[in-house]
Amino acid sequence: MADTSDLTPSRRAFLKGTAAGIAGAAMGAGAARAAGPDPLITDIQPFAQGLGDGVDATPYGLPIKFEDDVVRRNVEWLTADTISSINFTPIHALDGTITPQGCAFERHHSGAIEMSKGEYRLMINGLVDKPLVFTYEDLERFPRENHVYFCECAANTGMEWAGAQLNGAQFTHGMIHNMEYTGVPLRTLLQEAGLSGDLEGKWVFVEGHDASSNGRSIPMEKALDDVLVAFKANGEALRKEHGYPVRLVVPGWEGNLWVKWLRRVEVTDGPVESREETSKYTDTLADGTSRKWTWVMDAKSVITQPSPQAPITHGPGPMVISGLAWSGHGAITRVDVSKDGGKTWETARLAKPGEKMALTRFYLDTVWDGEEMLLQARAMDETGYVQPTKAQLREVRGENSIYHNNCIQTWHVKTSGEAENVEVS
Amino acid sequence: TSAGGFGIGREALPEEVAAWDVNVMPDGTGLPEGSGSVADGEMLFSENCAVCHGEFAEGVGNWPELAGGEGTLADKDPVKTVGSYWPYLSTAWDYVHRSMPFGNAQSLTADETYAIVAYILYSNWLVEEDFVLSRENFLEVEMPNADGFIVDDRPETEYGQWRAEPCMSDCKDSVEITMRATVLDVTPDEGADEAG
């Protein structure tokens, strides 16, 4: 049996391997001729000789240590404290569309609370035939559905209204995650409590178990359409910070409505006009009036690679420009990419056909000539809506809307391959 | 449809509904009996709220300002407070009662909540210092920005003009960089560390 406790050969091989890697990168891309045999190939590596971990080593695993930069990050100066605050998904380092739950962004108003399934109760009350209380176990007895949807914070990209501020796709566009949810349609639970009479003009008020409660009003039409009372995400229970054991999923609508730790759904004859739909999540226009009930998240996209946190390191030659597109109005049908700040556009390739209210991955397989680029992506959805520029948005709204900034993002890629968040004329 | 279908769950008891259904509507529905004065509110505010929101509700550090900002909503940097921005007093009562103080929510009685809301109104110069807020006079308070909100009008103001086939080539004559994030340099350091 090999001695896996002897780290000396491993360390030497690692150092040699690193040196070879750097030499390889310096030679640039293309079918370059090797200067000499690669020791990562010609030397027997410790992992090819010794043994790895047993199957009992990690009952529930985390990413390998080499990926320890793929983590949520917060920006301290954005909020007064870290309890009513936000952090950001590392979208610059992810691919595909499903967000790993462990690095999917968080937004709390009174912290991520810990409650068990045993402590969980859901109340349906108000203008129903019979107010009801459900336990967690009750919810699992109703017919279930599975859907993939994006949850985008209304404030995503909000710091960028007045200019280019944060340098990285994680910070400018990372208040978003995309998961496969399992749950019960809210419609099913409302029908269980009994909806009588004319539903025209009726609303539901939804609130959480946490101290902030995060109460929001939703018109009945949406409540009966596609809102989901979800208890699983990406195959497993919700994470504590995402509402364990039960959250609301409100497809296409701003993340604030996705009430976590859902405790109560009340049928009302009007909107409550709670703090989260008056003081917050209202969008002030240039003349000082404000829009309310701006629920839908419009079509949007961002190039995730290359981007400020994901520079080009391989030199000129073949490369992949990759990014995400999404729309609260339905499926993404097309994404165009510009390398010259919007003078000319090429249509990118969608990795899969766009799905309604879900993240869509796009690729532009291209060749970099080593010159500067002003990279932009422009999403289109099935309603024909084309993602606007920031100038177009400001023309209608001014600079104080805070929320719903779905403008085209520009990355300035320099000859070094580094990228910067910029605005262009 | 009538109640039932699956027969799952049980009927909520009146005490349970009363414990959780505490929201207050703009027309005052949901307000409990009670009252509170500006003077009582000033003391309660000083004890429970001022550490974050300031003795005069003007805000401390990065914590929210609850008073001031009149007439600033169209400014470059609007100051949005209960007085300058909030359309309904019901929201202030509901939110304070349900979710404040931060870290010790649901600790205020109805009378205490009336008093604190009265003090917030006084801090915004919307009532006199001898004012007493109660369920009876609640709707008489005029909120300055009550008419400051419009329902989402993106379908009329935006969607029409942006649902059009976009330009693909020769879309503009020149492109200049007008702003750079690195000039501000406010991105956390670890954000750039992984470049290597």
Residue A23 included in any domain = no
Domain boundary among A260, A291, A322: A291
pLDDT single digits (tens) A192-207:
999 999 999 999 999 9
Residue A25: pLDDT over 50: no
CA A82 to chain centroid, in Å, comes to 19
- Average of pLDDT values for B164-191? 90
User: Do A260 and A392 have their domain in common?
Assistant: no
Contacts for A307 with CB less than 8 Å, ≥ 6 apart = A92, A168, A169, A411, A419
Side by side, the strands of the sheet bearing A419-424 are A346-347, A332-338, A373-381, A410-413, A419-424, B177-180
Number of helices (H), then strands (E), in chain B: 9, 5
**What is the nearest CA distance from B164 to chain A, expressed in angstroms?**
7
As a whole number of angstroms, the longest Cα–Cα distance in chain B is 69
Q: Do A274 and B167 touch (CB under 8 A)?
A: no
Q: Is A153 a member of any domain?
A: yes
In the three-class reduction of DSSP (H, G, I as helix; E, B as strand; rest coil), residue A143 is classed as coil
A21-30, A45-54, A202-211: which range is least confident on average? A21-30
Do A327 and A377 sit in the same domain of this protein? yes
Of A188, A296, A385, the CB nearest to B163: A385
In this structure, are A220 and A346 located in the same domain?
A: no
- Structural domain total, chain A: 2
| Contact call for residues A419 and B181 (beta carbons, < 8 A) | no
Given A259, A291, A323, the domain boundary residue is: A291
Site of tokens 């750079």: B180
A220-231 mean pLDDT:
98
The answer to the question of residue A127 being in a domain is: yes
In a domain, A43, yes or no: no
A195/B1 touch (CB, cutoff 8 Å), yes or no: yes
- Looking at A291, A322, A342, the residue that finishes a domain is A291
CB contact under 8 A, B12 and A165: no
Has residue A214 got a pLDDT over 80?
yes
Tell me how far apart the alpha carbons of residues A279 and B154 are, in angstroms, rounded to a whole number: 20
The more confident residue out of B149 and B196 is B149
Percent of chain A at pLDDT > 90 equals: 91
Which residue bears the tokens 């500006």? B38
Q: Does some domain include residue A191?
A: yes
Name the pLDDT band for B195 (thresholds 50, 70, 90): very low
Please report the pLDDT score of residue A18 as a whole number: 39
* Residue B3 pLDDT level (bands cut at 50, 70, 90): low
Residues A390 and A366 in one domain: yes
Residue contact A278–B86, C-beta within 8 A: yes
Are A123 and A267 in the same domain? yes
What is the C-alpha to C-alpha distance for residues B99 and A209, in angstroms, rounded to an integer? 11
Please check whether residues A204 and A287 belong to one and the same domain. Answer: yes
A321, A305 contact by CB (below 8 A): yes
Q: Are residues A186 and A334 in the same domain?
A: no
Q: Which residue, A106, A70, A101, is CA-closest to A88?
A: A106
Q: Residues A177, A181, A186, A189: is their CA dihedral positive or negative? A: negative
Q: Considering the domain boundaries, does residue A47 fall inside one? A: no
Of A188, A274, A425, the CB nearest to B91: A274
Domain shared by A182 and A276, yes or no: yes
Considering only CB atoms, which chain B residues are within 8 Å of A335?
A: none
Q: Are residues A282 and A313 in the same domain?
A: no
Please indicate, yes or no, if residue A35 is contained in any of the structural domains: no
Is A191 an 8 Å CB contact of chain B? yes
CB contact under 8 A, A125 and B5: no
**Residue numbers in B near A392 (CB within 8 A):** 162
pLDDT band at A1 (very low <50, low <70, confident <90, very high): very low
Owning domain of residue A320? 300-422
Percent of chain B with pLDDT over 70: 94
Indicate whether A172 belongs to any domain. yes
Mean pLDDT of B100-113: 97
pLDDT tier for residue B4 given thresholds of 50, 70 and 90:
low
Percent of chain A with pLDDT over 70: 93
Q: What mean pLDDT is predicted for residues B44-60?
A: 97
Residue A414 one-letter amino acid: K
Query: Is the same domain home to A241 and A312?
Result: no
Residue A351: CATH number of its domain: 2.60.40.650
Task: Report the C-alpha gap between A408 and A393 in whole angstroms.
Answer: 10
What pLDDT digit, counting tens, does each position of A84-98 carry? 999 999 999 999 999
A184 Cβ neighbours under 8 A, 6+ residues apart: A139, A142, A143, A144, A145, A228, A229
Task: Evaluate if residue A28 carries a pLDDT over 60.
Answer: no
The pLDDT of residue B186: 87
Are A248 and A341 in a shared domain? no
Q: What is the pTM of this model?
A: 0.93
pLDDT above 80 (res B192): no
pLDDT of residue A34: 87
The predicted structure's pLDDT at residue A31: 66
Q: What is the average pLDDT across A205-219?
A: 98
For B112-148, what is each residue's pLDDT tens digit? Answer: 999 999 999 999 999 999 999 999 999 999 999 999 9
CATH code (residue A139):
3.90.420.10
pLDDT score for A14: 37
**Distance in angstroms (rounded) separating the CA atoms of residues A320 and A364:** 6
Give how far B132 is from chain A: nearest CA, Å.
23
Q: Across the strands, what pairs with A146?
A: A182
Q: Is A307 on the interface with B (CB under 8 A)?
A: no
Cα nearest neighbour of A389 on chain B: B162
Chain A nearest-CA residue for B7: A192
> What is the DSSP secondary-structure string of A351-402?
SS---TTS-EEEEEEEEE-SS-EEEEEEEEETT--BPPPHHHHHHHH-S---
CA A295 to chain centre: 17
A119 Cβ neighbours under 8 A, 6+ residues apart = none
Cβ separation of A167 and B150 shorter than 8 Å? no
* DSSP helix/strand/coil, B120: helix
Whether residue A111 is found in the same domain as residue A236: yes
